[in-house]
Amino acid sequence: MSAARAVRPVSVASFAQAQNVRRDDQRNEVEGLLPVIAEAFGAIGITKDDVDFICSGSTDYLVGGPFSFVMALDAVGVWPPRSESHVEMDGAWALYEAWVLLQEGKVDAALVYSFGRSSLGDLNEILTLQLDPYTMAPLWPDIVSLNALQARALIDAGKATEADFAAVASRSRRDALANPKAQVAGDIPVETLLEDEYVVAPLRRHALPPITDGAAAIVLAAGDKATRWSERPAWITGFDHRIETHALGARDLTASPSTAKAGEVAGVAAGPVDLAEIHAPFAHQELIVREALGLDGTVTVNPSGGALAANPIMSAGLIRIGEAASRIAAGQADRAVAHATSGPCLQQNLVCVLEGA
């Protein structure tokens, strides 16, 4: 986004998410998603006929079959035919695609959703298939081990300690007690957490995200619809995302230049930040993203509990934007930053700045 370009005001008009659970045996992906979309529409009294565009995010590798988005779209019921698109990415990027379209000013409302059941396979091994298929995936490094390398690099660089990771986890799970959708919550002091066994050193159980089945939906609105559908719209005032190289050995794993760049383009530093919802599946990643976004100790981070409280793959990023927007709509914050990530060790990052009236 060039600085000269005027951003068309677009608001997060509605947000809903599924109850995050370890395994939802009662419903398939689509059955888990539909009530969430109904809730997002119902909260502002609209139907699918009130949106001009639909965009979703999901991955075939969770359900283990091609075209998982097709069955979801069938159930959403795109009839008469709709202008619709899909990204094989976290729903936060689907939201970005919809936001881009709304920037042109031809349409005013969009439905964005994402879904995934991480419980259906061995997630730790499935995510290995994201790696270079010729040089890395055949070695089958699991994702927990790769993130442990990143945590180790932070410790070796003197940037953090295991107690810092535990402090992030302790605070996140404590805050999650106030989040009725959270999967993992509890008031456990740092000292107790540090008695956990290592899963892969230096990561103990508490520094890992839970495995979560979930879904989320957001309605984006511009123009009259934005003000009609929200008493206090959460306006997107900056939005950008960046990717880094895939070669882990070529990256400084203790920093996130892609987050820093996205934050710069989105204008994070242009005003005070009241709260940040950071998509950090592993505890140590919150520290890296905080630094990249330049957030100081005055910023409330992850009041929802973040991805350590619930990590539905493909939705956890979109949920960060929804959580931040909800707090603006409720008057609990005036300016918030939401972050989403994709790929091993924070390879790709998205930053969305939201502001109240």
Contacts 24+ apart (CB under 8 A), 41-50: 41/14, 41/111, 41/219, 43/14, 43/16, 44/13, 44/14, 44/219, 44/229, 44/230, 45/229, 46/109, 46/219, 46/229, 48/76, 48/77, 48/82, 48/111, 50/109, 50/225
Question: Considering the rule CB under 8 A, would residue 121 count as an interface residue with another protein?
Answer: no
Q: Which is nearer to another protein, 14 or 342 (CB)?
A: 342
Rounded to whole angstroms, how far apart are CA atoms 113 and 58?
Answer: 9
Q: Is 243 in the site for another protein (CB under 8 A)?
A: yes
Interface residue with another protein, options 15, 41, 61, 115 (CB under 8 A): 61
Least distance between another protein and beta carbon 189 (Å): 37
| Distances, alpha carbon 229 to alpha carbons 64, 67, 219, 225, 269, in Å | 38, 33, 10, 6, 29
* 270 counts as binding another protein under rule CB under 8 A: no
Q: Write down the least CB distance from residue 308 to another protein, Å.
A: 22
Least distance (Å) between residue 165 CB and another protein: 25
User: Pairing between strand 234-243 and 10-17?
Assistant: antiparallel
Q: Which of 164, 128, 153, 339 is nearest to 251 (CA)?
A: 153
The answer to whether 138 contacts another protein (rule: CB under 8 A) is: no
Q: Does 276 participate in binding another protein (rule CB under 8 A)?
A: no
Phi-psi region of 177 (alpha: psi -120 to 50; beta: other; left: phi over 0): alpha
Amino acid at 288: I
Piece in contact with another protein (CB under 8 A), picked from 68-76, 192-200, 287-295, 319-327:
68-76
DSSP string, 131-199: S-TTTTGGG---HHHHHHHHHHHHHHTTS--HHHHHHHHHHHHHHGGG-TT-SS-----HHHHTTSPEE
Q: Which stretch binds another protein (CB under 8 A): 80-88, 180-188, 192-200, 220-228?
A: 80-88
Binding mask 23-52 for another protein (x = CB under 8 A): -----x------------------------
Convert residues 81-100 into a mask of x (bound to another protein by CB under 8 A) and - (unbound). Answer: xxxxxxxxx---x--xx--x
Contact status: 149 vs another protein (CB under 8 A):
no
Closest CA to 354 of 345, 334, 346: 334
Kindly state the smallest distance separating residue 329's Cβ from another protein, in Å. 25
| Nearer Cβ to another protein (77/271) | 77
Do 294 and 266 form a contact (C-beta atoms < 8 A)? no
Of positions 206, 225, 241, 327, contacts another protein by CB under 8 A: 241
Taking CB under 8 A as the criterion, the residue among 247, 270, 330, 357 binding another protein is: 247
Complex with another protein: residue 5 or 296, whichever CB lies closer: 5
Q: Which residues bind another protein (CB under 8 A)?
A: 1-2, 5, 28, 54, 59-61, 63-67, 69-71, 73-74, 77-89, 93, 96-97, 100-101, 103-106, 126-127, 129-134, 137, 240-247, 257-258, 261, 342-344, 347-348
